[in-house]
């Protein structure tokens, strides 16, 4: 199958899964912005996206996208490493115009995944997972607050340490997205002379917008806690 056995196919999978994850991040960031405007409306969205069948299907699909994207990245990195052979021991003569993020996408991606696990623990594990356990007849967590996302946001970002950690994570996410979106659009065909500079701008705009949506919640709730 060419999608798996060819370099172009594997990059195509990386691009499609990456774009899908970017769209999810845009949705998630927009949803988080509601928590600033109206915590009650945000909790209504959390209840709608709780342990309902459609939300569970979406969660499984999202987990699959993340898994496929990360595994493809590992495999492509391994193939590139093996293809270089002895050249990887030679003096590094990369051009100065090659971005740092381009040469360290796997490392940045690993940082993003690491913080993603922390994010899942802070929110998904205390919300949707608690609802799932209770629907299956188990006893775990605080089911009364399982859809009170605004409460968990307020409690988490009352801690300066968590605010700093999340902002560092968002910095890594920005680096990953700026190069990742650009690379994905190139793979999907936007690589001619006309579009080359345009997709760089598009990538930066989308990455910045997504990161600002998430950062706004961190800063808003962080400052609210510190100033009170």
Domains defined along the chain, listed by start: 7-87+98-227 (1.20.1300.10)
Question: What is the spatial distance between Cα 126 and Cα 124, in angstroms, rounded to a whole number?
Answer: 5
Maximum average pLDDT range among 33-37, 84-88, 140-144: 33-37
pLDDT exceeds cutoff 70 at 89:
no
CA distance 181 to 105: 12
From the list 88, 95, 114, 219, the residue with the least C-alpha distance to 176 is 114
What pLDDT, in 10s, does the model give residues 176-207?
999 889 888 888 887 777 777 788 888 999 99
Q: Binning pLDDT at 50, 70 and 90, where does residue 87 land?
A: low
State how far the Cα of 179 lies from the Cα of 107, in Å rounded to an integer. 13
Q: Do 173 and 114 form a contact (C-beta atoms < 8 A)? A: no
d(CA 23, CA 120): 18
Whole-angstrom distance, CA of residue 188 vs CA of residue 183? 9
CA 138 – CA 115 distance, rounded (Å): 28
User: CB neighbours of 217 closer than 8 A, spacing ≥ 6?
Assistant: 32, 33, 35, 36, 153, 157
CB 160 within 8 A of CB 226: yes
Query: Of 77-91, 111-125, 208-222, where does mean pLDDT reach its minimum?
Result: 77-91
Contact criterion met (CB below 8 Å) for 146 and 214 = no
């Amino acid at each position: 199958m060419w999608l798996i056995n060819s370099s172009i196919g594997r990059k195509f999978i990386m691009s499609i899964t990456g774009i899908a994850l970017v769209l999810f991040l845009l949705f998630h960031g927009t949803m988080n912005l509601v928590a600033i405007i109206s915590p009650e409306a945000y909790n209504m969205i959390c209840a709608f996206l709780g342990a309902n069948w459609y939300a569970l299907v979406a969660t499984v699909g999202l987990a699959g996208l993340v898994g496929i994207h990360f595994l493809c990245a590992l495999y492509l990195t391994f193939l590139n490493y093996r293809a270089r052979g002895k050249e990887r021991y030679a003096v590094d003569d990369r051009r100065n115009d090659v971005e740092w993020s381009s040469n360290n996408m796997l490392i940045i991606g690993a940082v993003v995944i690491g913080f993603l696990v922390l994010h899942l623990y802070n929110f998904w594990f205390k919300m949707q997972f608690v609802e799932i356990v209770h629907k299956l007849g188990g006893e775990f967590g605080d089911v009364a607050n399982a859809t009170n996302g605004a409460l968990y946001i307020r409690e988490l970002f009352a801690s300066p340490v968590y605010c700093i950690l999340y902002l560092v994570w968002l910095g890594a996410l920005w680096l990953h997205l700026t190069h990742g979106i650009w690379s994905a659009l190139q793979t999907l065909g936007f690589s001619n002379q006309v579009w080359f500079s345009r997709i760089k701008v598009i990538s930066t705009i989308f990455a910045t917008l997504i990161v600002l949506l998430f950062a706004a919640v961190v800063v808003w709730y962080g400052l609210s806690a510190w100033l009170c």
